[in-house]
Amino acid sequence: MDLLAIIGLLIVLYILIYIFILLIVDCDLGLLWAVYFGKKLRNLQGKVIWVTGASSGIGEFMAIEFARNGAKIILSARSETNLERVKGRCLDVGASLDSIAVFPFDVTNTAKHEAIFQKAIKLFGRLDILVNNAGRSQRAVWENIDFAVDKEIFKLNVFSVLSLSRLAVKYFENAGIFGHLVVTSSLAGVFGAPFSSSYNGSKHAIHGYFNTLRMEKGRDKLAVTLLCPGPVFSNFLSQCFTEKAGEVFGEEINKTDKRMETSRCAYLSAVAIVNRLDEVWMAVFPAIPLTYILVYYPNITKLITRFIGQRRIMKIRDSRQTVITENNPR
């Protein structure tokens, strides 16, 4: 066998192994490497981490993961009752009473952010990591969406995040801290998904803003991590925006749905944070290989999406036949 044949065989073997790994993993390959060979979660010990949207879902489980590994945590959301429940869960995994602070507020009230930020800093005397997790999804037909819904989604998913993050960046610079901004985005921020255009638009905007920030500051001055989960077990579907202002989608997730466990998503997110990864994808099969195709092979994306179709994409996303069509928005 000559040298060219050997090289060709190695390339084919590499591609086959690459494809096989993508078929069995629940995250992108950069994050997978960090899970096994990156920094350990114990490096979070002593870090002060502020988590918004911490009263349920991914935010709740991230807070528990941080607490398990010795971080000091500021828990924020609107519901103080739910935050106290999350605090209890953090204490159950070994956190000390003086390492968990409950700090309820409404992230959409950006006019009060500066005062709120200063109060948050005083809770532990410093801040190392801001995790912008608060947000809501959407299910609606593109042309039927009230413009008021677009505004409401961007107010929560984008503008509140920008407001807190800009305060954090200034704080990190003035305090001489190598700070870390984390934003919970979505795979819907990486590519388009049907029947949630306002939500998708808000997540694409997040990527635009924070990728720009990373380029401006450089990785040696500020860490910026975008977390992009796919379908996860949480209460997000029941609280989704729809096409009408003030309305929620109201669907419940079934225990038999094909989704990532929230605890697994939180663990992977914590690995991404402690390793200061730029962007990570997390989802059960087939979302990860599909994402790789859509992102890295745009020339065949049109064929792939045409073959899969709207119904199959929605089934991948919501673990059921599409719950929204042009004739049946609910």
Which residue, among 102, 66, 65, has the nearest Cα to 84 in the 3D structure? 102
25-316 has CATH 3.40.50.720 classification: yes
Per-residue model confidence (pLDDT) at position 315: 62
Is there a contact between 260 and 284 (Cβ–Cβ < 8 Å)? yes
Model confidence over 8-38: pLDDT tens digits? 888 889 888 888 898 999 999 999 999 999 9
Per-residue model confidence (pLDDT) at position 189: 94
Which residue, among 229, 235, 239, has the nearest Cα to 138 in the 3D structure? 239
Per-residue model confidence (pLDDT) at position 157: 97
Does the structure show a pLDDT above 90 at 277? yes
Per-residue model confidence (pLDDT) at position 322: 44
Q: Which has more pLDDT, 193 or 289? A: 289
Residues 135-141: what's their mean pLDDT?
Answer: 92
Does the structure show a pLDDT above 70 at 323? no
Q: Which has more pLDDT, 264 or 14? A: 264
Catalytic residue numbers, as ranges: 199
Per-residue model confidence (pLDDT) at position 329: 43
Q: What is the mean pLDDT of the chain?
A: 91
Instruction: Give kind and range of the element (H or E) at residue 114.
Output: helix 113-124
